[in-house]
């Protein structure tokens, strides 16, 4: 029945869409002279950066060594008489420690080659090896590997490291003809230091001792055409052999010690040499045991448990051979199944058999891919050879984690032993984790009324929704009334009250997904009423309800409340989710409260290090964060250089767990590291060690002026990519050339240009960004002008500011007020040049929402005045600023923006009226904005430094209190119970990540430091930048292109216009946001869908504006510090 059900799912797997997953990109391609049958062997064998790849150029009969960047290092011509279809094996266990290769050929020769130089060491005769192999193994326990070759016509032959014959096994009386067409294997199965040899010929599987004598022989009466592998799948400390027969199509699990069959499972099709040589074993489900994966000649991929239970089957679209490797290639912490297929595709399957992505080669793929970090950049690479003569290096640019690569290459290792037994190192201890799964079982939150607007506010629907408990639903429509009640409750403020009529009613919780690591659940809920209560857990799967577990009813307490509970409920095997259902009898009133579902999980220990992926200022503070799902007794770290040499080490400081404002735990323990004492420039990584479990960070750099040199230009360039009204090569054609019209399309205005505001194409008002960029430019004008002059003599950064300024100038109406917002909403998804016809006065122009004038022009005015001050050709900006400021004065506006405009107009024109206005406005609001007050003192030679210092210090000290957490990032306070993401308690509000808030705080803290150089202020600044660039719970840089790990996709219309991932270089996104209303835990959309959640994944110009202002102030600090030094 299990097999039948699995077969039914095959059709589902084939139809599954993989579009939401990232596709691998080609890092490089090396083209050989002929077909590449053998799998690539990857190892660090030459004194070059990264790893090398050994490939067999088949018909050319050349063995090649390829660098980590795809260039040939050496080639070896063995004068072979037959094509080179077999692959090489590698050992470091030689007398002098030099790496050696061994490879067999169809002409009967066996050749040993120096892996560093590609020179022949020795050659001997071993017998015909076409699709079989030669391997390295220590068979006599002397610490030096021997070369073992399995051949089609000469049995199994062993040679010492110098190529001298040790023994030759050609079979016995019941195996008169020993012909090995598939690879052999080797493993030390009894821990005596001597490896045994395993092989399968046509009549069975057998094992030899290290001296070449027969240990056991299994003949089942079936024919075999696959290669054995050795593993300990059930983790009982004893090895098993896995091998498949050809005739009866049976996968066998065999006791490696004595040859007895443990279990067998019949496959649907025959196994050929290609698929039968690539059995893989590893824990892909996270269930504390390993799975066995095998493919057959028609492309079926089978996954079986360590006990022989079929878990799932996947098939390709074409009936052809395939081969398997296992590893986490997309950095999500789950092991993927890579399937190299004869249908030309390399498939990535998730651990349930669904296709995540597929990559097309030009011709068939015979043997499996190799999963490795080829160039030591911290990212996972995939090496695959094909019949199209190409060695491809693919990557998804995700973090490399060797602990999550249980079977990463053909025949498991470089020695091609086919054995993982006792080679994975100490298995990571598993831990028990108990946590609440029912977020809103306390009945303290109401349903969200998203449409709190003129369409719903005050309506009966709105009133009903805001009285019902959040994340609970009516299972049966019976006319019952159910709502929160504050008069009768078991605890807290509310219980849910159910009043039924003449029909039974059921109230169900939200469905909870069944995780692979969930072992059982404990359930409880309290009831009060006059009927006999009933509640149950309903388990569901793809085919509906699987099982229903009734809760046990206890005796009432003194107040009449009754607890219903059930512990240790074990999920059914095929359950995908479950829920709690509360039953209310007809014609009755009942109250329910304090519902809990505690999940008991058995999970693998996990540790993770988070780091600023750009790096750190040479003389600055250097902090990072680490997390784990267990409380470690020891916690330390090392800083390692590019040669993996330790340059600094210290202990981690324990910072405990994080709980959000409403009590929800973030799910980890946290540690903090400080290596500020390391002040040597270079490229490094952090290796954390918690109770022996390690994780290594993305690479980063330590250098002077690292933020200025590496991020200012990309951050500015992002604005160029957001330009509207012109072609931006690589992003879009000229667009919105017909902007804009009034809302009735009776008046038309030349408002082409400016910048698209975010991931949509609205322009709203660009003025705040112009003002911010101009301020950043003014802060570092000399530095920018000294470094950023382009070949044509212009300044790219200033040009960008002027592009936005010209549009903002035209957004000021003749009377000095601002025009309405230029927007067409958020409904259009496509290339921007197609949203309108780009021809003015045809009726499809984008409208000015709110009128053609009359809006507040304060930011426009301040921006115009600031731009007039930083550019020579400034008459039009001066005129616009004067007009706007006159309007503001008429409107009696007296704020920092008016003061800023007046100061700049006086500075650029010298006109006394602006001096008088500046002084008048300063008396009203002078200290409201510290940056403006500082500028006032500079222009008018006054001294308000003490007041400014006091104001900035007070604000800075509060910000420090609100950033006391393991990441050091700035929360929404208060200190006693921080709201990390500005999470609303009950009612919805506009959701957006915190990057704008954090970066604005950096500028303020920077100004505070300039007046009061408290080292904690500088630490705060670096902590916020660290968060933006990777030191956050998702371990991603929130600035595209700066760092190593980024969002899978971005919320940007450019994605649907052809820009991969919607990725705009240099852009900063909204950032990590609250998970849900009333749930103050971090959320970021890592789904990879075309249009991810805007609140976290959307670019928005304020972030880049605030970032550039922040970095300009930080650079002031560094310049001042440098002068002091």
Q: What's the pLDDT at 788? A: 59
Instruction: Report residue 428's pLDDT band, with 50, 70 and 90 as the boundaries.
Output: low
Q: What's the pLDDT at 6? A: 35
Q: What's the pLDDT at 863? A: 98
Q: What is the largest CA-CA distance in the chain?
A: 114
For 1009, phi and psi rounded to 5 degrees? -65, -35
Residues 112-138, mean pLDDT to the nearest whole number: 97
One DSSP character per residue, 588-648 reads -EEEEEEEEEEEEEEEE--EEEE--SSEEETTS--EEEEEESS--S-EEEEEEETTS-EEE
434-603 maps to which CATH number? 2.60.120.260
Q: Is the pLDDT of residue 455 over 90?
A: no
Range of lowest pLDDT (37-51, 164-178, 555-569, 638-652): 164-178
Q: What's the pLDDT at 13? A: 35
Report the distance separating Cα 995 and Cα 543, nearest Å: 43
Q: Is the pLDDT of residue 632 over 90?
A: yes
Give per-residue burial for 262-293: e unless 16+ CB within 10 Å, then b: bebbebebbbbbbbbbbbbbbbbbbbbebbbb
Q: Each residue of 495-530: pLDDT tens digit?
A: 999 999 999 999 999 999 998 889 999 999 999 999
Residues 442-457, mean pLDDT to the nearest whole number: 67
Highest-confidence range of 8-17, 482-491, 787-796, by mean pLDDT? 482-491
Residues 863-874, mean pLDDT to the nearest whole number: 94
Instruction: Report residue 359's pLDDT band, with 50, 70 and 90 as the boundaries.
Output: very high
Q: Answer whether the bond into residue 12 is a cis peptide, omega within 30°.
A: no
Which of the listed CATH numbers 3.40.50.300, 3.10.180.10, 1.50.10.10, 1.10.760.10 matches domain 944-1124? 1.50.10.10
Q: What's the pLDDT at 21? A: 63
Q: What's the pLDDT at 1124? A: 53
Q: What's the pLDDT at 23? A: 85
Instruction: Report residue 7's pLDDT band, with 50, 70 and 90 as the boundaries.
Output: very low
Give the residue from 373, 374, 383, 433 showing the smallest Cα distance to 404: 373
Instruction: Report residue 451's pLDDT band, with 50, 70 and 90 as the boundaries.
Output: very low
Residues 728-742, mean pLDDT to the nearest whole number: 97
The mean of the pLDDT values for the chain is: 93
CATH architecture, domain defined by 707-893? Alpha/alpha barrel (1.50)
Q: Is the pLDDT of residue 465 over 50?
A: yes
Domains 707-893 and 944-1124 share a fold: yes
The residue with tokens 């019902």 is 468
Q: Each residue of 647-699: pLDDT tens digit?
A: 999 999 999 999 999 999 999 999 999 999 999 999 999 999 999 999 999 99
Residues 84-91, mean pLDDT to the nearest whole number: 97
User: Can you give the residue ranges of every domain in the chain?
Assistant: 25-427, 434-603, 605-703, 707-893, 944-1124
Asked whether 618 and 527 are in contact (CB, 8 A), the reply is no
Asked whether 1021 and 1109 are in contact (CB, 8 A), the reply is no
pTM: 0.88
Range of lowest pLDDT (156-165, 171-180, 462-471): 171-180
Between these two residues, 466 and 615, which has the higher pLDDT value? 615
Report the distance separating Cα 109 and Cα 128, nearest Å: 7
Instruction: Walk across the sheet containing 165-169 and list its strands.
Output: 134-137, 146-150, 156-159, 165-169
Instruction: Report residue 287's pLDDT band, with 50, 70 and 90 as the boundaries.
Output: confident
25-427 maps to which CATH number? 2.130.10.10
Instruction: Report residue 745's pLDDT band, with 50, 70 and 90 as the boundaries.
Output: very high
The residue with tokens 């001050």 is 869
Q: Is the pLDDT of residue 403 over 60?
A: yes
Q: Is the pLDDT of residue 42 over 80?
A: yes
Q: Each residue of 362-377: pLDDT tens digit?
A: 999 999 999 999 999 9
Between these two residues, 120 and 796, which has the higher pLDDT value? 120
Count the Cβ atoms, other than its own, within 10 Å of residue 416.
30
Q: Each residue of 1077-1098: pLDDT tens digit?
A: 889 999 999 999 999 999 999 9
Q: What's the pLDDT at 943? A: 96
Side-chain half-sphere CA neighbours of 857 within 13 A:
31
Name the percent of the chain lying above pLDDT 90. Answer: 85
CATH architecture, domain defined by 605-703? Sandwich (2.60)
Q: Each residue of 827-866: pLDDT tens digit?
A: 999 999 999 999 999 999 999 999 999 999 999 999 999 9
Q: What's the pLDDT at 791? A: 52
């Amino acid at each position: 029945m299990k097999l039948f059900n699995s077969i039914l799912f095959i059709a589902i797997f084939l139809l599954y869409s993989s579009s939401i997953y990232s596709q691998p990109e080609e890092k490089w391609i090396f083209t050989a002279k002929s077909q590449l049958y053998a799998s690539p062997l990857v190892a660090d064998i030459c004194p070059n950066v990264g790893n090398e790849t050994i490939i067999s150029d088949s018909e050319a009969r050349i063995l090649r060594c390829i660098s980590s960047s795809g260039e040939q290092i050496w080639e070896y011509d063995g004068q072979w008489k037959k094509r080179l279809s077999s692959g090489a094996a590698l050992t470091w266990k030689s007398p002098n420690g030099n790496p050696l290769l061994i490879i067999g050929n169809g002409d009967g020769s066996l050749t040993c080659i120096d892996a560093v130089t590609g020179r022949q060491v020795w050659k001997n005769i071993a017998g015909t090896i076409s699709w079989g192999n030669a391997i390295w193994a220590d068979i006599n326990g002397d610490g030096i590997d021997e070369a073992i070759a399995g051949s089609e016509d000469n049995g199994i032959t062993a040679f010492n490291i110098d190529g001298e014959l040790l023994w030759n096994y050609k079979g016995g009386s019941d195996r008169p003809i020993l012909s090995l067409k598939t690879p052999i294997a080797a493993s030390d199965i009894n821990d005596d230091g001597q490896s045994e040899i395993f092989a399968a010929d046509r009549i069975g599987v057998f094992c030899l001792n290290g001296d070449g004598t027969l240990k056991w022989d299994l003949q089942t009466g079936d024919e075999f055409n696959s290669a054995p592998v050795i593993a300990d799948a059930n983790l009982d400390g004893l090895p098993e052999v896995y091998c498949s027969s050809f005739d009866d199509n049976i996968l066998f699990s065999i006791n490696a010690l004595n040859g007895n069959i443990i279990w067998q499972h019949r496959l649907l099709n025959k196994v050929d040499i290609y698929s039968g040589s690539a059995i893989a074993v590893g824990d892909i489900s996270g269930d504390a045991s390993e799975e066995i994966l095998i493919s057959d000649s028609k492309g079926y991929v089978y996954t079986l448990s360590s006990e022989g239970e079929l878990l799932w089957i996947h098939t390709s679209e074409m009936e052809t051979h395939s081969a398997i490797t296992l590893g986490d290639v997309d950095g999500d912490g789950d092991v993927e199944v890579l399937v190299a297929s004869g249908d030309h595709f390399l498939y990535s399957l998730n651990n349930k058999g669904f296709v995540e992505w597929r990559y097309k080669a030009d011709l068939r793929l015979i043997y499996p891919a190799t999963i490795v970090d080829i160039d030591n950049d911290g990212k996972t690479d995939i090496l695959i050879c094909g019949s199209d003569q190409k060695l491809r290096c693919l990557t998804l640019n995700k973090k490399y984690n060797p602990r999550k690569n249980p079977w990463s290459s053909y025949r498991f290792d470089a020695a091609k032993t086919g054995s993982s037994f006792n080679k994975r190192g100490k298995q990571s201890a598993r831990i028990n984790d108990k946590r609440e799964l029912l977020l809103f079982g306390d009945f303290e939150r109401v349903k969200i009324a998203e449409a709190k607007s003129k369409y719903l506010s005050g309506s009966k629907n709105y009133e009903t929704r805001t009285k019902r408990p959040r994340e609970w639903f009516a299972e049966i429509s019976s006319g019952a009334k159910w709502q929160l009640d504050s008069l009768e409750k078991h605890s807290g403020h509310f219980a849910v009250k159910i009043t039924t009529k003449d029909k039974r009613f059921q109230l169900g919780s939200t469905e909870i997904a069944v995780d692979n690591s969930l072992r059982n659940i404990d359930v409880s809920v309290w009831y009060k009423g006059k009927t006999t209560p009933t509640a149950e857990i309903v388990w569901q799967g793809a085919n509906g309800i699987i099982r229903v577990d009734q809760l046990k009813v206890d005796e009432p307490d003194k107040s009449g409340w009754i607890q219903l509970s059930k512990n240790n409920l074990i999920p059914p095997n095929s359950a995908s989710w479950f829920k709690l259902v509360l039953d209310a009898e007809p014609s009755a009133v009942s109250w329910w409260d304090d519902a809990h579902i505690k999940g008991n999980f058995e999970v693998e220990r996990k540790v993770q290090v988070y780091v600023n992926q750009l790096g750190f200022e040479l003389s600055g503070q250097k902090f990072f964060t680490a997390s784990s799902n267990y409380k470690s007794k020891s916690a330390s770290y090392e800083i390692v250089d590019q040669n993996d040499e330790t340059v600094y080490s210290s202990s981690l400081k324990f910072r405990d767990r994080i709980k959000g404002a409403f009590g929800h735990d973030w799910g980890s323990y946290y540690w903090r590291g400080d290596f500020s004492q390391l002040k040597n420039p270079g490229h490094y990584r952090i290796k954390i060690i918690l109770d022996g479990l390690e994780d290594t960070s993305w690479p980063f750099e330590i250098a002077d002026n690292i933020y200025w040199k590496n991020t200012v230009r990309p951050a500015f360039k992002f604005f160029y990519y957001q330009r509207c009204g012109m072609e931006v090569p690589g992003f879009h054609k000229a667009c919105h050339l017909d902007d804009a019209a009034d809302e009735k399309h009776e008046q038309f205005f030349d408002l082409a240009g400016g910048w698209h505001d975010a991931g949509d194409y609205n322009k709203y008002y660009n003025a705040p960004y112009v003002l911010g960029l101009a301020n950043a430019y003014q802060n570092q004008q000399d530095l920018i002008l000294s470094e950023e002059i382009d070949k044509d003599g212009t300044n790219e950064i200033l040009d960008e500011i002027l592009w936005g300024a010209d549009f903002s100038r035209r957004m000021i109406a003749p009377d000095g007020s601002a025009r309405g917002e230029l927007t067409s909403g958020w409904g259009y998804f496509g290339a921007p040049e197609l949203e309108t016809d780009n021809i003015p006065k045809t009726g499809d122009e984008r409208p000015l929402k709110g009128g053609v004038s009359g809006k507040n022009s304060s930011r426009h005015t301040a921006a115009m005045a600031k731009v007039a001050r930083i550019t020579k050709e400034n008459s039009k900006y001066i005129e616009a600023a004067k007009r706007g400021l006159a309007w503001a004065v008429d409107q009696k506006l007296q704020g920092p923006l008016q003061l800023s405009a007046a100061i700049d107009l006086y500075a650029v024109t010298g006109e006394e009226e602006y001096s008088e206005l500046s002084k008048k406005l300063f008396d009203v609001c002078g200290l409201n904005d510290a940056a403006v007050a500082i500028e006032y003192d500079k222009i008018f030679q006054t001294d308000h430094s003490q007041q400014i210092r006091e104001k900035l210090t007070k604000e800075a000290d509060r910000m420090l209190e609100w950033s006391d957490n393991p990441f050091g990032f700035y929360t929404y306070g208060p200190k006693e119970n921080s709201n990390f993401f500005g999470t609303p308690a009950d009612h919805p509000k506009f959701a957006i990540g915190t990057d704008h808030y954090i970066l604005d705080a950096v500028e303020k803290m920077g100004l505070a430091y300039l007046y009061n150089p408290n080292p904690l202020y500088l630490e705060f600044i670096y902590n916020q930048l660290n968060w933006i660039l990777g030191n956050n719970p998702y371990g991603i840089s929130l600035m595209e292109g700066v760092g190593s790990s980024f969002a899978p996709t971005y919320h940007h219309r450019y994605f649907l216009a052809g820009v991969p991932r919607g990725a705009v270089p240099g852009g900063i996104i909204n950032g990590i946001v609250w998970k849900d209303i009333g749930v103050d835990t971090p959320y970021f959309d890592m789904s990879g869908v075309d249009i991810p959640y805007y609140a976290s994944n959307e670019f928005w110009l304020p972030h880049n504006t605030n970032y550039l202002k922040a970095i300009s102030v930080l650079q002031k600090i560094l310049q001042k510090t440098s002068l002091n030094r």
